Structure 1
């Protein structure tokens, strides 16, 4: 029976698999293909120079033992490096390299010199000088589905997130984009999906990273001439979670490299999860080719939590911390802090602290003091509710009238100003602004903003309205 390259390599793999951890085997040996057997020389194909360097540094002895068992003491191992055309090159490129510093076979196609001979893993998360092949997920295990309470404001996003966690890369929700305003739980949900995947599929490599850190890592890779290593590192990930993807706006180089990484992961059935403060349609300075890919899967918006959800969140925090509090206090906090979950949590924790440290009974009066101070301290994160209150107070009407269907001129102008300032001071989408200010659509909000811009330049009294309200919101 003749010996083939494939049969020799399969026998080598059986030996190797018994001598290393499963994750290392999946990462470093499953992608290898046996391509040729000449005399006692086995040629194997690896996906990058980085791969070659890592194998030679960490597994050369194991490879030598495995190959000697199959081909005898004169066995030789040679590498064919072939990267597919993923990065926009006109041609795929290959290079043949020897194992353990034997003379190289002259490349038959494009010669790509090794630019970085540092044998350490080009893992952007590893501290220089410390070798560590393991890719840490960077996930926060405190963010789970168990403490991400479901409500009307997040039901679609949570349900889709659970579906992704149960079948990463295997649903139509790829990519899965979670968007919404500040403090509504986008990051929490992204972590929860990752944590659930790690629990159900421990063999999968999951990585959470902010777009800001991703950008800095890319800049560093360009400076160190290790761009291809950077790309290859991210191609190893099974589930990539990128937080605040809108941070890529205007960064052409980072968008380009992310485009290629995204394509590779998506084509290979890997899961991509993104969070953003706005919907793809509202993102500025993001390349159209990226935006179109963001729309391939599912974009799910998280809205401000309704009253019932806010009460549930507060009760859950109190239960978690082992604190009992009267229902009327909980209801007061829930009614008066509406903008986001982060402010809600901060207020109840402040109330618990005030009671504990100052040995004061938790009363409605104390709750009023804490909520008032807390809302004042976080006013810099202006919410749509807060804007509506300021505008309504300025024109001496109530918020219900502002949101009503009435076409009275003074109310219409107040409503348009609320929409204008909501667009100016918040990161909410036009659709989100419209839904919160009287259930209008995004076209109405766009019209309101244009109307305000026009009136400011033609009507002095209206300009004074704008200036006065702007000052109040900027305090």
Structure 2
């Protein structure tokens, strides 16, 4: 083992720096701070760790990433060997490393041009993958309800197959699941076009599988989905009750997972709430990272509306945007629908919109009609109940089932059903995407408690008076 090409050390430094930018800090520290550069020999970099366990983990998770990054930086095919050294030798090597003390900016800056493809080819690649090119991370409006899902999706797009595999994004209709799923695919094609990406809905997957059986082309179907680098499947709740399709997806999943290929799925609810899904497939979906998209709060709804208005270069008064944000509490899709209707009216008739006209035009939309002209929103009810019981709105909407949270959550659901015109489905959506039966159970539970406990009943009545008196 010689260090015949000593400048590989600089390449290793730059490789480690680039990888550090793509991984969570704790993950990088846990593994990359436990390996060191030992030397190089004829297009081969030798790295060492203090135990076989460390090396096995680094090899299984990051070997391809390290090799690809080194090869990109050097402009040649570079292999990597891993050897075990004692902890004393590892620490000594770290002390001897001049790079350990060198500031980041002193390392040579190595610019490697990205693989360039034409705009036309880029668009064709996305179309061939069934992606919607308009869905990008740059036009996804981030709020408290979506920060976790957004960051997880971006991390996957930057480093597919290494972290968070598989990933499941779940949430109600119109929350942005499809947007994030397409954003992952579009980002990968824009930045690493050599990777093969495939986006399908669960319905498309099912239909193609059925057609392949009828045409006796099942092997072609298997090859199509098992030879991709990134598989994105939307709306897996569609698979409920479809046993043969579930069986095929199970085997596809295993094949891709063992090959360390990235998989991302979306669903309209947590996997545990799906019916007629085999246990072994459910366990696969839950194996990796599961993140939820909750309904956007008022601030996020306003940000989304302003972003959409700006994108369409349409003037819309603050009062009108506020009216939509207050009254359309269901999902992003309903927000866009409301805004589109107003913009179309203004542009087609070449008229400026007044707030009164906007109310008239939107009054027939289900999301507005359910709320009427009331200023009282479910978010407000949750906030008031949370303040009374000293718990946060996030906790009330969350998944925890602590005794201290269950009753405030049920009270907030009861009041939402009692003093607004929202349906149990809409209320469930506002409470973290819960099923309508959960809302019905909460309502019945609070009614029962009020009948048997006068003090409890007085508490509910007080909250109800406070909320109804606050209506504008």
TM-score by length of 1: 0.56
The structure in which a higher percent of residues are helix is: 2
Give the match for residue 168 of structure 2.
177
In 2 relative to 1, CA 340–169 (structure 1 residues): closer, same or farther, beyond 3 Å? same
Residues 206-254 of structure 1 show CA distances to partners (whole Å, capped at 9, x for unaligned) of 1110101110111111122222221122111111110100100010000
Give the match for residue 220 of structure 1.
211
Q: CA deviation at 1:369?
A: 1.3
In 2 relative to 1, CA 208–378 (structure 1 residues): closer, same or farther, beyond 3 Å? farther
Residues 402-426 of structure 1 show CA distances to partners (whole Å, capped at 9, x for unaligned) of 8886989x979945967xx999746
Partners of 1:282 and 1:240 lie apart in 2 by: 23
SS at match of 2:291: strand
Residues 337-394 of structure 1 show CA distances to partners (whole Å, capped at 9, x for unaligned) of 1111111011111111111222332111112112212236886xxxxx89x99999xx
Partners of 2:326 and 2:445 lie apart in 1 by: 33
Give the match for residue 297 of structure 1.
288
Give the match for residue 150 of structure 1.
142
Residues 408-465 of structure 1 show CA distances to partners (whole Å, capped at 9, x for unaligned) of 9x979945967xx99974696897256x99xxxx9x869538859999xxxxxxxxxx
Q: CA deviation at 1:295?
A: 1.0
Unaligned 5+ segments in structure 2 are: 1-123, 390-406, 450-472
SS at match of 1:373: coil
Q: Retained in 2: the 8 A contact 1:278–1:427?
A: no
Pick the aligned partner of 1:240 from 231, 236, 246: 231
- Cα RMSD (Å): 4.1
Give the match for residue 432 of structure 1.
432
Give the match for residue 448 of structure 1.
442
Pick the aligned partner of 1:288 from 279, 290, 296: 279
Unaligned 5+ segments in structure 1 are: 1-131, 380-384, 393-397, 456-475
Pick the aligned partner of 2:363 from 372, 394, 401: 372
Q: State how 1:95-134 maps to structure 2 within 5 Å.
A: none
In 2 relative to 1, CA 399–151 (structure 1 residues): closer, same or farther, beyond 3 Å? closer
In 2 relative to 1, CA 268–378 (structure 1 residues): closer, same or farther, beyond 3 Å? farther
Rg larger in 1 or in 2?
1
SS at match of 1:242: strand
Partners of 2:430 and 2:369 lie apart in 1 by: 23
Give the match for residue 244 of structure 2.
253
Partners of 1:197 and 1:140 lie apart in 2 by: 13
Q: CA deviation at 1:284?
A: 1.0
Give the match for residue 137 of structure 1.
129
Give the match for residue 334 of structure 1.
325
Residues 2-38 of structure 1 show CA distances to partners (whole Å, capped at 9, x for unaligned) of xxxxxxxxxxxxxxxxxxxxxxxxxxxxxxxxxxxxx
In 2 relative to 1, CA 208–449 (structure 1 residues): closer, same or farther, beyond 3 Å? farther
Partners of 1:411 and 1:186 lie apart in 2 by: 29
Partners of 2:369 and 2:277 lie apart in 1 by: 30
Partners of 2:427 and 2:412 lie apart in 1 by: 23
In 2 relative to 1, CA 426–230 (structure 1 residues): closer, same or farther, beyond 3 Å? farther
Partners of 1:376 and 1:134 lie apart in 2 by: 33
